[in-house]
Structure 1
Amino acid sequence: MTRGPLVVVGDVLLDVDVCGSVSRTAPDSPAPVVDVVRRVERPGGAGLAAWLATGDGSREVVLLMALGSDDEAQVLRRRLAERVRLVEIGTTGRTTVKARVRADGQTLLRMDRGDAGDLGDVPPEAGDVLASASGVLVSDYGRGVSSHPGVRALLAAVPRRAPVVWDPHPRGADPVSGTLVATPNEGEVRRFAGDPAPDLAGLSRSAAALVERWEVRALAVTRGAAGALLSYGAGIPVHLPAPEVPGRPVDTCGAGDRFAASVALALAEGALIREAVGTAVVAAADFVRDGAAATCMDPRPRVPRTSGDAVALAREVRAGGGTVVATGGCFDLLHRGHVETLQAARRLGDCLVVCLNSDDSVRRLKGPDRPIVPQEDRARVLTALDCVDAVVVFEEDTPNEVLRTLRPHVWCKGGDYSDAALPEEQVLLEWGGQAVTLPYLAGRSTTRLARATQGGEP
């Protein structure tokens, strides 16, 4: 059976980033002077949500929006049509433009212009696509699409046949009754509910009140780095923590759109609400880690976070100007010492590849009773760590050949090699790689753990 499209309904904006660097202040005022390097124009609001929802291109995404006839609207049409099917409502308004001046990864200033204007009639095509939708995301930015009487009449019938996710706005409309999940952020919840209590109890109370008032099935409250709070109204809410996003400053522009789009996609695939929200929390953290809206449509090469192919990952990172870090070992009975070493290694570059000894290799090194955990399981556990981007298994007694294939910029080893060269150091010299050591956490080792599980002394 063919899946229906994911339909995004909402207000489209044009986001503009003017990017450069600051090395001086103006002579006539204490204002930073930005030496502009590039200007990037991209869809924002519901346009960004729809673009993100297209993912790998395996699902059709339809965007129901309002656009006028100004130059900015033409830019949006061209860019969105690359990946999204457009259904338009006419408007007399000027396209809303949000322009950010950014320097060295930080936003210095934002300038907004545009107005909503009067919206025209809803085209018949809108009813057709909503009737066939496998899921609907309403991305409300307070410009009038979700408040349009014709749009609301069509949306009111959707919850009976497909999941609806509603990303609300303080100047927008309330979700239609029967919406499966609403996705306001923490500040919006407190504003909607009129409860300024700053603690978690107050937020939970406000979320439960909105579930009842809006007649939605659940409220997924986004809380930035803290993750999301999922409330079903009555009962204890569920806290879904977000993975840590290392490094500062962090640009979170568009993270809410990434979250809402991920929830809608997961629900359209049949996921439970809690599963969908958990998936979206991780997707939003990954989105921020990878540069957020500032880089999601950037045509320049970007450093990927994960790859199933370690060699391809290393090649892509090098091509994008990033630093490839590699480390190696058996990682049998993964423990805290391993994790802290891996996290420290990841901070040295833009990706971390773990070169993992195969089962046969471990037996030759450690004896016939090892490994305790087979290589497939060891690799799966390692790839589940946020700090590990890829794993490659090698059969030899040393990782020299796999290092020649990966050609990392940095090779990390845990332990004390201060008085002797690392065995792999000569291989690294072939392409100018650098070996470093990272100290182990004292008192943690696989051998000690194995002995303890067998009833021996730890």
Structure 2
Amino acid sequence: MEDQWAGKRALVIGDVMLDRYVWGEVERISPEAPVPVVFAQRRDDRPGGAANVAMNLAGLGVPVSLLGFCGKDAEAALLSDGLRVQNIHSCLVPVQSHPTTSKLRILGGQQQMLRLDVETPGGYPSEAFEQLLRQVDQEIEQADVLVLSDYAKGVLTEEVCQHAIQTARRRGIPVLVDPKHRSFARYRGATTICPNLQELSVATGLPKVQLAANLDLARDMVREFELESLTVTLSEKGIAVLTADEQMMAPAVARQVFDVSGAGDTVLATLAVAYACGLDARTAIELANVAASIVVGKVGTVPVTMTELMHSLMPEIDRKAEEKVLPLERMQTRVASWRAAGEKVVFTNGCFDLLHIGHITLLEDARQQGDRLVVAINSDASVQRLKGPLRPIVGEAQRARVLAALAAVDAVVVFDEPTPLEAIVALKPDVIVKGGDYTEATVVGAEEVRSWGGQVVIVPTVEGFSTTRLIARASEG
């Protein structure tokens, strides 16, 4: 999955904010009024609103440009610093007449006690919009997906929305919208609009409890506003995607919930990357559901990272053999996610040409040495250099695919060098396993793995089985 995301760029336009946090503990009630006293222990400032969508995209490894308005104040400087740290290309238009929108949250332990908002919605001068539209035209040329993140603070007027949507559609890139207005008319022509159930209820005029009726009207909106689909987040019920003709549902992934703030931004960012990669709607909403389940387990608007998403997807990846065969760079990311989860990584290698019982026994014994087994196999060119021009019998792609289908194997990497030393050094496994025809002194990478605290394990071989013998017997036959 990661390789499909490589090279994709996103453009986010919307209401940018600064999320400010004061963390502390509550030990008593104020004598001045019946309110808790929070003893402040630390403070934190994070990009929020549309900037949190950009932060989620950056966390997922996608380069992103961010357009919107800010004030000429200290909060703008803090916002700019936070975006710079995440390598987000910030193109915020400073407006003298407006403060940078900010939200101060005071938390006692894990509980939010108070929120203080500083903002002046709407009323931005015409010259600010003119500058914003010029930047839209410039930045959209490099984008693979456009996200409109509307918090109803005045940036995404109908003119801005339609200018951005029509420009994006002429370039053939998808447009995703997080709406905040009662009418979705200003988002006409977008690829998909992504309201939560409350926002959809406001748009339809029906109570939230009438879920089926709300979803039926949502399908009508797809036709009315010339959308490809409408994507509705339904909290614990999951996510629904509605087209003019059908409805798809992805149930929510169960996870303990600490804080739902920012979860919608996480869903939007994950959907945006999925659409940029051309993934189908079903896969897109399943990915978004997993990402949302991660973020609600955090406190505050904290983005999801690619490593976290990959780790949560690992059980599903483990069921698909084609997702186990990885180039070395992606294998490093996979191994890092296992290690972050406290899992012990085992490594073995070989040609594995004409898989036989000796190979299976080796792999099963190797898997018993830890939690995850990485198998490195020689490329076809490497096998030829080692065993002659008539080998391998089975090509590297087929050998890797067969190994990946085995329950004992968690991942497969192909190497072109005579030995797997480069892969061993890159992956830093906890254990290297080889068969009984080796000694520790003859195992490639033994010295290296011991240098970082790992170990070398020699397991017994099954006598009488080898690929060379199998080929010789076939030739005799």
Q: Partner residue of 2:147?
A: 137
Pair 1:254-2:262 in alignment = yes
The alpha carbon displacement at 1:103 in A equals: 1.8
Aligned counterpart for 1:272 among listed residues 273, 276, 280: 280
Aligned counterpart for 1:14 among listed residues 8, 14, 18: 18
Aligned counterpart for 1:33 among listed residues 37, 51, 74: 37
Aligned equivalents of 1:261, 1:172: Cα separation in 2? 23
Pair 1:118-2:124 in alignment = yes
Aligned counterpart for 1:287 among listed residues 292, 295, 317: 295
Q: Deviations over 1:380-437 (max 9, x none)?
A: 789xxxxxxxx989979xxxxxxx979xxxxxxxxxxxxxxxxxxxxxxxxxxxxxxx
Q: Partner residue of 1:388?
A: none
The alpha carbon displacement at 1:379 in A equals: 5.6
Tell me if structure 2 keeps the 8 A contact 1:147–1:173: no
Aligned equivalents of 1:87, 1:284: Cα separation in 2? 27
Aligned equivalents of 1:55, 1:216: Cα separation in 2? 28
Aligned counterpart for 1:103 among listed residues 84, 108, 116: 108
Which one-letter code corresponds to 2:72 in the other structure? S
Aligned length: 345
Q: Partner residue of 2:249?
A: 239
Q: Deviations over 1:230-282 (max 9, x none)?
A: 111333x111012111x35x201101001001111111112122222221111
Residues 362, 69 of structure 1: alpha-carbon distance in 2 compared, 3 angstrom cutoff: closer
Which one-letter code corresponds to 2:27 in the other structure? S
Max radius of gyration: which structure? 2
Aligned equivalents of 1:286, 1:186: Cα separation in 2? 20
Residues 216, 113 of structure 1: alpha-carbon distance in 2 compared, 3 angstrom cutoff: same
Aligned equivalents of 2:117, 2:237: Cα separation in 1? 29
Tell me if structure 1 keeps the 8 A contact 2:182–2:203: no
Q: Partner residue of 1:339?
A: none
Q: Deviations over 1:310-340 (max 9, x none)?
A: 99668757xxxxxx699xxxxxxxxxxxxxx
Aligned counterpart for 1:229 among listed residues 219, 240, 261: 240
Tell me if structure 1 keeps the 8 A contact 2:294–2:304: no
The alpha carbon displacement at 1:86 in A equals: 2.0
Aligned equivalents of 1:184, 1:296: Cα separation in 2? 19
Tell me if structure 2 keeps the 8 A contact 1:168–1:174: no
Aligned counterpart for 2:196 among listed residues 175, 185, 192: 185
TM-score, length basis structure 2: 0.62
Pair 1:43-2:47 in alignment = yes
Q: Partner residue of 1:71?
A: 74
Which one-letter code corresponds to 1:25 in the other structure? I
Residues 358, 262 of structure 1: alpha-carbon distance in 2 compared, 3 angstrom cutoff: same
- Between Structure 1 and Structure 2, which shows a larger proportion of helix residues? 2
Tell me if structure 2 keeps the 8 A contact 1:4–1:132: no
The alpha carbon displacement at 1:154 in A equals: 3.5
Which one-letter code corresponds to 2:293 in the other structure? A
Tell me if structure 1 keeps the 8 A contact 2:178–2:195: yes
Moved more, 40-49 or 201-210: 201-210
Q: Deviations over 1:432-456 (max 9, x none)?
A: xxxxxxxxxxxxxxxxxxxxxxxxx
Q: Deviations over 1:201-225 (max 9, x none)?
A: 1232232233233221111111123
Tell me if structure 2 keeps the 8 A contact 1:193–1:209: no
Q: Which runs of 5+ in 1 are unaligned?
A: 318-323, 327-356, 364-372, 383-390, 397-403, 407-458
Superposed counterparts of 1:211-360, under 5 Å: 211-235=222-246, 237-245=247-255, 247-248=256-257, 250-289=258-297, 291=298, 293-296=300-303, 359-360=364-365
Residues 316, 135 of structure 1: alpha-carbon distance in 2 compared, 3 angstrom cutoff: closer
Residues 189, 33 of structure 1: alpha-carbon distance in 2 compared, 3 angstrom cutoff: same
The alpha carbon displacement at 1:14 in A equals: 1.0
Residues 362, 99 of structure 1: alpha-carbon distance in 2 compared, 3 angstrom cutoff: closer
TM-score, length basis structure 1: 0.65
Aligned equivalents of 1:111, 1:190: Cα separation in 2? 27
Aligned equivalents of 1:276, 1:94: Cα separation in 2? 36
Q: Deviations over 1:90-130 (max 9, x none)?
A: 43322221111112212122121211341413333320222
Residues 241, 179 of structure 1: alpha-carbon distance in 2 compared, 3 angstrom cutoff: same
The alpha carbon displacement at 1:77 in A equals: 1.7
- Secondary structure of 1:205's counterpart equals helix
The alpha carbon displacement at 1:149 in A equals: 2.3
Q: Partner residue of 2:407?
A: 378
Which one-letter code corresponds to 2:129 in the other structure? D
Q: Partner residue of 2:347?
A: none
Aligned equivalents of 1:361, 1:89: Cα separation in 2? 58
The alpha carbon displacement at 1:168 in A equals: 0.5
Pair 1:205-2:204 in alignment = no
Residues 380, 102 of structure 1: alpha-carbon distance in 2 compared, 3 angstrom cutoff: farther
Residues 135, 35 of structure 1: alpha-carbon distance in 2 compared, 3 angstrom cutoff: same
Tell me if structure 2 keeps the 8 A contact 1:146–1:172: no
Aligned equivalents of 1:360, 1:325: Cα separation in 2? 17
- Secondary structure of 1:19's counterpart equals strand
Residues 380, 97 of structure 1: alpha-carbon distance in 2 compared, 3 angstrom cutoff: farther
Aligned equivalents of 1:313, 1:157: Cα separation in 2? 39
The alpha carbon displacement at 1:178 in A equals: 2.4
Which one-letter code corresponds to 1:75 in the other structure? L
Tell me if structure 2 keeps the 8 A contact 1:53–1:265: yes
The alpha carbon displacement at 1:39 in A equals: 1.0
The alpha carbon displacement at 1:75 in A equals: 1.4
Tell me if structure 1 keeps the 8 A contact 2:364–2:408: no
Residues 174, 85 of structure 1: alpha-carbon distance in 2 compared, 3 angstrom cutoff: farther
Q: Which runs of 5+ in 2 are unaligned?
A: 1-5, 315-330, 345-361, 369-401, 412-428, 435-451, 455-477
Q: Percent identity?
A: 29
Aligned equivalents of 1:69, 1:375: Cα separation in 2? 56
- Secondary structure of 1:15's counterpart equals strand
